[in-house]
Amino acid sequence: MIETGELLRGKVILITGASSGIGAAAAHVFAREGAAVVLAARREEKLSAVVAELRDKGADASYVVADLTSAEDVRRAVGVTVERHGRIDGAFNNAGIGGDQLPLHEMADEIYDTIIDTNVRGLWNCLRAEIAAMLKSGGGAIVNNSSVGGLVAIPAAAPYVASKHAVVGFTKAAAEEYARRGIRVNAVAPGATRSEITADWFGRNPGLEEAIHEVTPQGRTADPEEIAEAVAWLLSDRASYVTGVVMPVDGGYVNH
């Protein structure tokens, strides 16, 4: 049995996209490992339900409603975190959308705009606000949620793939820039994981889940907690010499 409860003891961590899926699972895993967590997303009802579950377990958890495509909302989310806890030690920039799956030449501009605005501008907004706050409080650790689509192509999802490659680019650029100022920046690249995004994709594309399982060495979809466990380690001081890394958490998919 692996002992839990100490990995993130005393850390203050902001999690974006924490109203469902991987972000909500991360809130549970980080809290279990001793962190105070602040959850951000747009849907207040969902955020409030996740925070209630966490508080029932004795966690120090709160939420802030924010649309990450707005730089002002993001500054407010980071500001509220610092107001509540005095500092921000870690951030999991997880929020993102999948968008419709279509051949590239059939994609409407609106799909491109929404995906790039959320997955790229949203991250840009977060990195600027979080890094500015971390520099004031002496450093921190950031993990960005990319995707296997940030490392290799996935079919019928060109703007999503481009957006997740951009997440990798921001991760490397920020890691390089702040390595000597006490801030580590890494990314995870999850494979297919049970969540609202995949429920939507699998629902609209019969056979897609089975096809992914076939080309995934472990032959299955991940539980969101399995992604959150990798992120927890990357955010912890046990990963103190790890920066600029994009870690696949994908059952062997990109290695295949």
**Interactions with ligand NDP, residue window 105-164 (CB under 6 A):** 118, 122, 145, 147
Q: Does 69 bind ligand NDP (CB under 6 A)?
A: yes
The answer to whether 54 and 27 are in contact (CB under 8 A) is yes
Length of the chain: 256
Active-site annotation holder among 63, 160, 178, 253: 160
Calpha distance 149→11 (Å, rounded): 30
CB of 235 to ligand NDP, least distance (A): 16
Q: Does 186 bind ligand NDP (CB under 6 A)?
A: no
* Interface with ligand NDP: number of residues (CB under 6 A): 31
Q: Among 12, 13, 22, 143, which residue sits at the site for ligand NDP (rule: CB under 6 A)?
A: 22
> Tokens in use for 111?
């799909």
Q: Among 101, 193, 216, 243, which residue sits at the site for ligand NDP (rule: CB under 6 A)?
A: 193
Enclosing H/E stretch for 225? helix 224-235
Calpha distance 248→146 (Å, rounded): 9
Does residue 160 have an active-site annotation? yes
The answer to whether 12 and 88 are in contact (CB under 8 A) is yes
Q: Among 11, 12, 62, 94, which residue sits at the site for ligand NDP (rule: CB under 6 A)?
A: 94
Calpha distance 182→223 (Å, rounded): 32
Q: Does 19 bind ligand NDP (CB under 6 A)?
A: yes
The answer to whether 252 and 216 are in contact (CB under 8 A) is yes
Calpha distance 63→54 (Å, rounded): 11
Q: Does 198 bind ligand NDP (CB under 6 A)?
A: yes
Binding track over 225-244 against ligand NDP, x by CB under 6 A: --------------------
Q: Does 67 bind ligand NDP (CB under 6 A)?
A: yes
Q: CA neighbours within 13 Å on the CB side: how many for 24?
A: 18
- Which stretches of the chain bind ligand NDP, using CB under 6 A? 16-23, 41-43, 46, 66-69, 94-97, 118, 122, 145, 147, 190, 192-193, 195-198
Where in the sequence numbering do the catalytic residues fall? 160
